[in-house]
Amino acid sequence: MFNKENGCFHPMKLNPSEALPKQFTYPFYYTPHPLCIEAADEVKAYLNSQTDFEHNFGLDVTKEGLKIGKMFGVMIVETIKGQLGYITAFSGKLAESNHIEGFVPPIYDTLNKDGFYKQNEAYLNSLNAEIERLEQNPELAKAKLKRENLERERIKKLEDFKQNTKADKRKRKALRVEAELKFSDEEKASFFEDLKQKSIQSNIDLKYLKLNLEAKVKLAETNFTKLIKPIEALKLERKKLSASLQKQIHEHYQFLNAKGENKDLIDIFKTTDLGHPPAAAGECAAPKLFQYAYEHNFKPIAMAEFYWGISPTAEVRKHGQFYPSCRGRCEPILDHMMQGLDVEANPIETAGVFKGELDIIYEDDFLLVLNKPHEFLSVPGKTIKDSVLTRMQEYLPNATGPLLLHRLDMSTSGLLLVAKNERTHKNIQKQFINRTIKKRYVALLDGPLDSKSGIIDLPLRVDLNNRPRQLVCYEHGKLAQTEYEVVEVKNNKTRIYLFPITGRTHQLRVHVAHHKGLNTPIVGDDLYGTVANRLHLHAETLSFEHPVKREWVSFSCNAPF
């Protein structure tokens, strides 16, 4: 039972019918072990009733202020004396603190008032305050405005002078032509000399005008520089101190593994594609749990993480539901920390295996339509080469062009269209671009829906810290729209038709799961819902204009669920 009086270790009893897992949980794709569910339930019960800290998870509508949900983790461990129990952690800070009784501490406590971070943070804050004070100086704004006005005045006066000079030049040219006809040679010589002197004087006037205007601008620039230079010096000092402080922090985040080896964040991330630690690396629940277990000679048995609180704006996160560890921040860290542990195999590396023949439901001289099985790639992946594309390349060795006209997620089954030649591919691709091709998906949602039909409009982009998951993002996301129509609600599940208006990655899955969409994930969605025997999403119908026959054709393949 969760009891803060026990410290961070919470004893458990193993029921006679239960058995410990043979291997440690693969944290990026798992079904929670019953012991982890039991431990998580105890933590959830504590969170529901505790009065130890004040944090607005957004679950109580009467509470005011910023609402923030949190990821929590539990790890089943065995002590050196063979006692079974669990430890628990939260990601980041909780109630503006790194330390809550009953939960494991952070890897490095940035909130320690006696630590180097807090002391340097105080100086950084003083730099920020001084920079802000200097930037708010009204004399700075005046000097900047005067410099800008004088520069505009310089440009305008020079342009006006040049325009007047051109006009005077045209007049002198006309006068020369007129003088050639009216004046004697002696008169012309005197007249032309006068015109020449005026031209020379114009050049002299332009020179002195430039010097005068540039002197004014330079003086204004000097006055502005006197005011801005101290600010720039402070900003440079702040930048150097921040970089140095960040490096120190990364060096203080030291991570153990089961072999007793130690690595800091810099060492861990230097070989990744990013090359350096991302923001908040090491602050998630999972690394905290491993670190505490190793420091106290606990043997890690199993682990699970769950979300607690109001759903975030961008991510698909639901209150109380289990989720895998994040990849961007945690995968390199946990890859190190799990060294020496017997960990379950990555199921992704063995997924996508299909030994049967692809089901071709239509074929002619120009195209074919096939029924892609679930958990099979449309195109080759990083580690898995077998796919619809590679099968089609073998099946159609004389075909030209890219073959596939669209893709389905690996977990999605259903109709895929293949072009046998480049001309056919271009024709049908144009239909995709113009959105004249009609597609209908069928899905089984993990819950009942009240609405019968509608359009979901949520822009999407990739979650850079947790690929391939997608986020709802109104600032950088791409337009994503889905029409839906409920077929039936039965046994607390909803069968639904989905009509994608656009074709973004994971569009249908995010649109139905996100709290601003239908707030009901697809059954078996291992990214945005909960794991089941399969993702219950199937591309059921496909209609388009045949590129050669010029007639509307339609194909269908019933969902296997």
How far, CA to CA in Å, does 354 sit from each of 247, 372, 403, 471?
47, 10, 20, 30
Q: Which H or E element spans position 486?
A: strand 481-490
CA distance 229 to 370: 68
State how beta strands 453-457 and 367-372 pair. unpaired
CA distance 195 to 188: 10
Place of tokens 């030049």: 169
For residue 60, give both structure tokens: 């109580």
In this structure, are residues 438 and 542 in contact, taking their beta carbons and an 8 Å threshold?
A: yes
Q: Which of 450, 453, 466, 459 is nearest to 313 (CA)?
A: 459
Catalytic residue, chosen from 335, 365, 386, 409, is 409
Identify the DSSP state of 4.
Answer: G
Report phi then psi at 175, rounded to 5. Answer: -65, -35
CA distance 333 to 212: 64
Does 267 participate in catalysis according to the annotation?
Answer: no
Contacts of 493 (CB under 8 A, 6+ apart): 444, 445, 446, 447, 448, 523
How many CB atoms lie under 10 A from the CB of residue 426? 13
Cα 171 from chain centroid (whole Å) = 66
CA distance 528 to 510: 7
Provide the strand spans (E) within 47-107. Answer: 70-78, 84-90
Q: In a 10 Å sphere around its CB, with 0-12 CB exposed, 13-18 middle and 19+ buried, how is residue 253 labelled?
A: buried
How far, CA to CA in Å, does 407 sit from each of 379, 415, 499?
8, 9, 15
For residue 53, give both structure tokens: 């800290």
How many CB atoms lie under 10 A from the CB of residue 71? 20
The residues annotated with a catalytic role in the active site are 409
